[in-house]
Structure 1
Amino acid sequence: MTIAYWIIAALLAVFYLYAGGKKALQSQERLLPMMGWVDRVPMPLVRIIGVLELLGAAGLILPPLTGIAPWLAIASAIGLVLIQVGGIALHLSRGEARLIGLNIALLAAAAGTAWLGTTWL
């Protein structure tokens, strides 16, 4: 179970470091070709989502790696689940049901990571 946690957590962390970094640092014009929803969401909210994704990525890796407050990894995974719930809701509200596949996969991976995290606490 520990190996499975580290594999999924590492993959999620890499994804969220990339996606969160883009949202936190790039302009709306640069984000728009990749993330069409940023035209309807205020940029401060896009930045907050990016920072939360970066914190979630760090939370999946650093607490269990250091042994300091490892329960934060579970909290981070649950936070990433909630981000994806919001992403799914946003896509559905825009009539983009065909685009929620990645959100569902990320939600499932984050939920699995949260569950796997409970096995070593």
Structure 2
Amino acid sequence: MNVALWIVSGLLAAVALVGGITKSFVPKAKLAAQHGGEWTEGASVGFVKTLGVLEILAAAGLILPAAVKIAPVMVSVTAICWVLLMIGAMITHRRLGQGKLVMVNLVYLLLAVFIAWGRI
């Protein structure tokens, strides 16, 4: 079980890190031009960058507390926060008629639920 939790945490952390770096450092106009990034057209630059920073922090929060054994419960807290973020992403993508992205977000949500449950 512990190995599965580490694998899932690593995968989800990688997703969060890539998404966070993209939102933090890629210009908003370029994001809006990509498939799946259309939601940024109606969002401020500050909001997009803030989401990016939160995703980078989530990547760290999914790995570091358990790895260094300091406040390992924070992994579960981070995973629950990721669930909330994915609910917002699902709502946003659904409004834009992007059903495939809703399903991708659902998979990420379920992975986060597994981590939150397993690391309690």
Does TM, scored on the shorter chain, surpass 0.5? Answer: yes
Residues 64-83 of structure 1 show CA distances to partners (whole Å, capped at 9, x for unaligned) of 00011111111111111111
Partner of 1:12: 12
Match of 1:69 among 58, 65, 71: 71
Runs (5+) with no aligned partner, structure 1: none
Partner of 2:24: 24
Runs (5+) with no aligned partner, structure 2: none
2:64, 2:103 → 1: CA distance? Answer: 28
1:98, 1:107 → 2: CA distance? Answer: 14
Corresponding position: 1:83 with 2:70: no
| Percent of aligned positions that are identical | 35
Partner of 2:48: 46
Letter in 2 for 1:30: K
Q: Is the 8 A contact 1:38 1:46 kept in 2?
A: yes
2:15, 2:94 → 1: CA distance? Answer: 22
Letter in 2 for 1:105: V
Q: TM-score, normalised by structure 1?
A: 0.91
Shift of 1:99: 2.8
2:4, 2:26 → 1: CA distance? Answer: 33
2:15, 2:93 → 1: CA distance? Answer: 19
Alignment of 1:93-108 (within 5 A): 93-108=95-110
Q: Is the 8 A contact 1:13 1:58 kept in 2?
A: yes
How many equivalent residue pairs? 118
1:109, 1:98 → 2: CA distance? Answer: 17
Letter in 2 for 1:3: V
Q: Which runs of 4+ in 1 moved over 6 A?
A: none
